[in-house]
Amino acid sequence: MLDQAESLRNLVNNKDDKSDNKGRSPRKIITVTSGKGGVGKSNFVVNLAVALQKNGKKVLIFDADLGMGNDDVLLGLYPKYNIFDIVFTTKKIEDIIIEGPYGIHLIPAGSGLNKIQELTDRERELFLNELEKIGEYDYLLLDTGAGVSKDILAFISASEELIVITTPEPTSLTDAYSLIKVTDYFKLKTKVKIVVNKAFTKKEGEETFNKILRAASRFLKIEVEYLGYILDDRKLVQSVREQKPFILLYPNCDAAKNMESIAKKISGESGSSSESVKGLFKKILSAFS
């Protein structure tokens, strides 16, 4: 734990280092995570990506859920390679990125990220140089695993924005707050945005957020912002079974309208990333060292 804390502090201290930001920069790099599994995080990510594309944005998803990535499954895609085939099979970045519904792009990471610590200095540089060739995107969405771990905290620290997905269930709320508390403790972010998934009503979504807000306002320094809610709907379950984003399969359902509202809110925010993809992953690699 001490080693983990030290590597995270180093990552935070290097957040403003622009020495490796000469590559193309997505307009915004957003980490999407959750305190526990089963809250619909990955389903949120793929549908948010489609919603942003529908708003005229260009979106790249990086599936950063170590060993458990399933964004490709949710999109009905069957990738041949993951990101670490760049190093271990000399594939190019264009061989790794696959196109999904509505033109969104996906980098399937899968279990490949577990091999980070095995890379030599030369392999790391090869890997980073290849990532620098990634085309220009308006948004890079980092879909991490759930919980509090070194890799998840590294992605949180290295990105510009953080979105935490929770549900109204007490266990989900507790775990979401724990994640926010650790983020605040290590000073990884000054603000976190909350999405309440699987809410029965708009009021339940707001009340769920307010529970987090009250606790954070009392005990933490981090700013907590309400990004929105997504209503619980059987159509979401059906869309997962059919491996199609619900925003395309059921565009008139309440959940799709909720997602569009969240996407419009994100699209309307000002500011842009000063971080290149190479710079982002160099920081993440350093946290795994």
**Percent helix, strand and coil across the chain, each rounded to 5?**
50, 20, 35
Q: Is residue 13 domain-resident?
A: no
**Considering its fold, how many domains does the chain have in total?**
1
Q: What is d(CA 257, CA 219) in angstroms, rounded to the nearest whole number?
A: 34
Q: What is d(CA 57, CA 139) in angstroms, rounded to the nearest whole number?
A: 8
Q: Is the pLDDT assigned to residue 266 strictly greater than 60?
A: yes
Q: Is the pLDDT assigned to residue 138 strictly greater than 50?
A: yes
161 CB neighbour count, 10 Å cutoff: 20
Domain enclosing residue 48, as ranges? 25-288
Whole-number pLDDT of residue 74: 95
The pTM (predicted TM-score) of the whole model is 0.89
Residues near 12 by beta carbon (within 8 Å), at least 6 away in sequence: 157, 186, 187, 188
Q: Is residue 178 domain-resident?
A: yes
Q: Is residue 216 domain-resident?
A: yes
Q: Is residue 11 domain-resident?
A: no
> Which letter does DSSP use for residue 114 in this model?
G
- Strand partners of residue 105: 60, 99
Find the distance separating the first CA and the last CA of the chain, reported in whole Å: 14
Q: Do the beta carbons of residue 256 and residue 119 sit within 8 Å?
A: no
Summarised one tens digit per residue, pLDDT across range 48-79 is 999 999 999 999 999 988 667 789 999 999 99
Position 10 confidence tier, pLDDT thresholds 50, 70, 90 = low
Q: Is residue 210 domain-resident?
A: yes
Summarised one tens digit per residue, pLDDT across range 188-214 is 999 999 999 999 999 999 999 999 999
Q: What is d(CA 91, CA 86) in angstroms, rounded to the nearest whole number?
A: 4
Residues near 244 by beta carbon (within 8 Å), at least 6 away in sequence: 75, 76, 101
191-199: strand order across its sheet: 98-99, 105-108, 59-64, 139-146, 28-34, 161-166, 191-199, 223-231
Burial class (CB in 10 A: 0-12, 13-18, 19+), 18: exposed
Burial class (CB in 10 A: 0-12, 13-18, 19+), 87: buried
Q: Is residue 57 domain-resident?
A: yes
Q: Is residue 20 domain-resident?
A: no
Q: What is d(CA 205, CA 189) in angstroms, rounded to the nearest whole number?
A: 23
Residue 20 CA, chain-centre distance (Å), reads 22
Whole-number pLDDT of residue 17: 53
Q: What is d(CA 87, CA 125) in angstroms, rounded to the nearest whole number?
A: 10
Sign of CA dihedral 63, 194, 230, 258: negative
- Mean pLDDT is lowest, of 28-32, 81-85, 136-140, for 81-85
Q: Is residue 9 domain-resident?
A: no
Whole-number pLDDT of residue 2: 43
Summarised one tens digit per residue, pLDDT across range 80-133 is 988 778 877 888 889 999 999 999 999 987 665 566 667 788 888 888 888 888
Q: What is the domain-level CATH number for residue 260? A: 3.40.50.300
Beta pairing, strands 98-99 & 139-146: unpaired
